[in-house]
Structure 1
Amino acid sequence: MSFFETVEPEFGRFVLGNAPVRQLASGFDWVEGPVWFGDAGCLLFSDIPNNRILRWTPGEGVSTYRQPSNYANGHTRDRQGRLVSCEHGTRSVTRTEHDGRITVVADSFEGRPLNSPNDVIVAQDGGIWFSDPHYGIMTNYEGFVAEQENPCVVYRADPETGALEVMVDDMNCPNGLAFSRDEGRLYVADTGRMFSQDAKEIRVYDLVDGRPVKGRHFHTISPGCADGFRLDSDGNIWSSAADGVHCIAPDGRLLGKILVPELVSNLCFGGRAKHELYMTATTSLYRIILNRQGVQVP
C-alpha cells in the first residue's frame, strides 16, 4: 500500500517510504484544530459536535482536556506558550492562562457579536489573527444557530489593548490561516459560504508594515478544499484536502499528496523535531513522520 502520490520529483525528498500513515485514535464526529504542546508532550484537538477538546499523549492515548469546550474549533499557542482557541458556542476567541483561567480575547466588533471564529495564528509581535466565517451559526451541529451581524473577514486583535482591526475582507468565507516563516506573506483559505457554490481557493497576501496587501490567487485544492494548513521550514504549504494532505510549493505548484482514508480538516507539525505531521480527519486522528520540519509557534 502506498501512502503517497508524487506529482513533482522533489516531493520524494520530503517523505519516507517506510513511514506509514497511522491512525492514532478514532470514534469522533468531526475533529479539528490540532495544536502540539512540546513542553507537555501532547497534542490537543477539538471534537466540535461533541463540545470537547481532547488530548492525545504518546503511549497513553486520548483523554478529555476540556468539556464543555464551547464548541471550540481552531487552536494555536501564543508567544508565551498559552493556548489560544476559537469558540463557536461563545462566538469568541479565548486564551487559557498558565494558571488555567480563561481570558476572552475578542467576542464582538463595533458592538456586534462575532460570527463563529474558526482558525487562529499569532504573529511575532503578539498580534492574534483569526478568521470569522459564519459556519458555526448556520446550524446547530457545531454551535448554535444565530443571526449573522458581521461580514466574514479576518481580524487582528492587538496584544496590548485587544482592539480588533479588519485585515482581510475580500473573501466569501475565510477559514485556514498561516504566516510564512519570515512573516512576509499571509496565506488564507476561502472555503465559501455554507450552502453555496462559491469558488474555493487559497489566497496569498504580501505583508507590508504588518498589513496584508496585493491579495491574489495562490492555489486551488482538488478534490475538496483547503480547510486548514501549515508551512514547513522551506516554505512549502501542507494543506488539508478531501483525499488527504497536499504539499504545495511556495510558487503554488502541487508537489505531492499524503493519502488519508478520510477527509482531512486540519493539521499541524509536532514531535521532538517538529517532523511529525498530525492530521485531524473527520472521525479520526492520524500521524505521519516526514523528512521536513514544521514552522510552529512558539
Structure 2
Amino acid sequence: MDELMPADAVIEKLADGFGFLEGPVWVAEGNGFLLFSDIPANKIVKWTPDGEVSDFLSPVYEGEYEEGRLVGSNGITVDPDGHIVFTEHFNGRISRIGADGRSVVVDNYQGGRLNSPNDLQYRSDGSLYFTDPPYGLPQPEAKELDVNGVYRLTSDGTLTLLVDQPGPNGIAFSPDESRLYVADSTRGVWVVYDVAEDGTLGEGTDFLDSSGVQAEGAADGLKVDELGNLWATGPGGVWIISPDGRHLGTIQPTEVPANVAFGDADGRTLYMTARSGLYRIRLNVAGAGW
C-alpha cells in the first residue's frame, strides 16, 4: 500500500451540509476546480482549491418533484472538446454545457426513454460509455426500456446497447482501455469486460464480489489509477482493488462515499463525494491518463 498512499495520509473534509453527493470530476481549467452533483438538491456544485463552494448549474430538473427525491444530475465528465457532460435522473438523458448553452447528448434508445443515466466515461476514440439503471426514475411506470443497459455512443451519434446488467452503476476503463469495469449495485459486484478494437465488449466476468460484506454502502462509483488499480466505492468506504482483483484495503471517511475522482495538477489527490460531505486524501499514484 505504501506504493499507492503515504503512510501518514490524512482524510480531509472540505465541505459539508449537502443532501447526497455524487459524480465528482476535476476540471483542468485555470487553477482547476471540482464539480459534483448534489442529487436531491437538484444542482451541480463547484468547489475551488481556495475552499469556495458555489452553484455551477441549478436547477438541473425544472419540473415538479417531491423533496428528497434523487431528481438531479449524477455522473459528470469532460468531453474531448472540454465541455461538461453530465447524466440526469428525472430527465432520463445526458446533457452537455457548451459555448451555446445546454444541449441534449442522448435521451432515448430506439425511441424508448432512457431510464436514469448514472455514470459515464469517454474512450480515447471519442465514444461515450455510460450506465443506465432504473434508480433515478421519477416513477416505476416511467420505465420504457426492458433493459438496464451499458451503452456506447459514438461521435457520429450512433447508440449501441452493449450489455444488460441488473444494476449498472460506476464505470471506468483500464489505462490501456483493454478492459471496462462496471459496478453492479444490485448484485454488489464489480464486473470486468474485455474491450474489442471496435469498442464492443466481450463476455463480462465478476471481477470482485462485495455482496457478503456487512457495511453501509454498495458497489457504486469508481476510477482507475495509472497502474491499473481500481478506487471503487463499496461497503464501508473506497475499496482499493488491484488489476488482478485483490482487495488491497479500504479508505474510510466518516461518511460512506458514493463516488470518487482524481484531481489537482498532478492527479494525485482522490476526491470523495460521501453523502453530505466532500472529502479528499493525497496519494502516491495519479489517475489514469494524467
- Same fold judged by TM-score > 0.5? yes
Alignment partner for residue 48 of structure 1, among 17, 26, 39?
39
What secondary structure does 2:2 align onto? helix
In structure 1, what is the Cα distance between the partners aligned to 2:100 and 2:120? 20
User: What corresponds to 1:74 in structure 2?
Assistant: 75
One-letter code aligned to 1:102:
R
Give how far 1:157 is off: 1.1
User: What corresponds to 1:214 in structure 2?
Assistant: 203
Give how far 1:163 is off: 2.3
In structure 2, what is the Cα distance between the partners aligned to 1:155 and 1:44? 24
> Would the alpha carbon gap of residues 284 and 144 (structure 1) be closer, same or farther in structure 2, given more than 3 Å must change?
farther
One-letter code aligned to 2:167:
C
Give how far 1:261 is off: 1.1
User: What corresponds to 1:124 in structure 2?
Assistant: 124
One-letter code aligned to 2:180:
L
In structure 1, what is the Cα distance between the partners aligned to 2:283 and 2:229? 13
One-letter code aligned to 2:177:
E
- Mapped contact 1:242–1:264 kept (Cα < 8 A): no
Alignment partner for residue 63 of structure 1, among 34, 54, 57?
54
Give how far 1:89 is off: 2.3
Alignment size in residue pairs: 273
- Mapped contact 2:226–2:289 kept (Cα < 8 A): no
Please tell me whether residue 178 in structure 1 is matched to residue 178 in structure 2.
no
What secondary structure does 1:33 align onto? strand
- Mapped contact 2:240–2:249 kept (Cα < 8 A): yes
Q: What's the RMSD between the two structures over aligned residues?
A: 1.4
- Mapped contact 1:269–1:296 kept (Cα < 8 A): no
Give how far 1:103 is off: 1.9
| Superposition pairs of residues 1-40 of structure 1, within 5 angstroms | 11-40=1-30
Alignment partner for residue 239 of structure 2, among 237, 243, 246?
246
Give how far 1:296 is off: 4.8
Of 14-23 and 233-242, the range deviating more from structure 2: 14-23
Please tell me whether residue 205 in structure 1 is matched to residue 193 in structure 2.
yes
One-letter code aligned to 2:192:
V
> Would the alpha carbon gap of residues 272 and 128 (structure 1) be closer, same or farther in structure 2, given more than 3 Å must change?
same
TM score, norm. by length of structure 1: 0.88
- Mapped contact 2:76–2:119 kept (Cα < 8 A): yes
- Mapped contact 1:24–1:284 kept (Cα < 8 A): yes
Give how far 1:168 is off: 1.5
For residues 205-262 of structure 1, the C-alpha deviation after alignment (integer angstroms, 9 at most, x for no partner) is 1111211102101012334322000000000000112322110000000111112111
Alignment partner for residue 161 of structure 2, among 156, 159, 166?
166
For residues 59-110 of structure 1, the C-alpha deviation after alignment (integer angstroms, 9 at most, x for no partner) is 132111110022111011111221110011211011111x151221110111
- Mapped contact 1:136–1:145 kept (Cα < 8 A): no
User: What corresponds to 2:150 in structure 1?
Assistant: 154
- Mapped contact 2:271–2:281 kept (Cα < 8 A): yes
User: What corresponds to 2:106 in structure 1?
Assistant: 106
User: What corresponds to 2:275 in structure 1?
Assistant: 282
What secondary structure does 2:204 align onto? strand
For residues 144-181 of structure 1, the C-alpha deviation after alignment (integer angstroms, 9 at most, x for no partner) is 66421111011111212x22110122x10111100111
Give how far 1:114 is off: 0.7
Q: Which consecutive segments of 4 or more residues in structure 1 shift more than 4 A?
A: 143-146
TM score, norm. by length of structure 2: 0.90
One-letter code aligned to 1:16:
P
In structure 1, what is the Cα distance between the partners aligned to 2:149 and 2:18? 29
- Mapped contact 2:14–2:51 kept (Cα < 8 A): no
In structure 2, what is the Cα distance between the partners aligned to 1:60 and 1:245? 23
- Mapped contact 2:193–2:201 kept (Cα < 8 A): yes
In structure 2, what is the Cα distance between the partners aligned to 1:175 and 1:24? 25
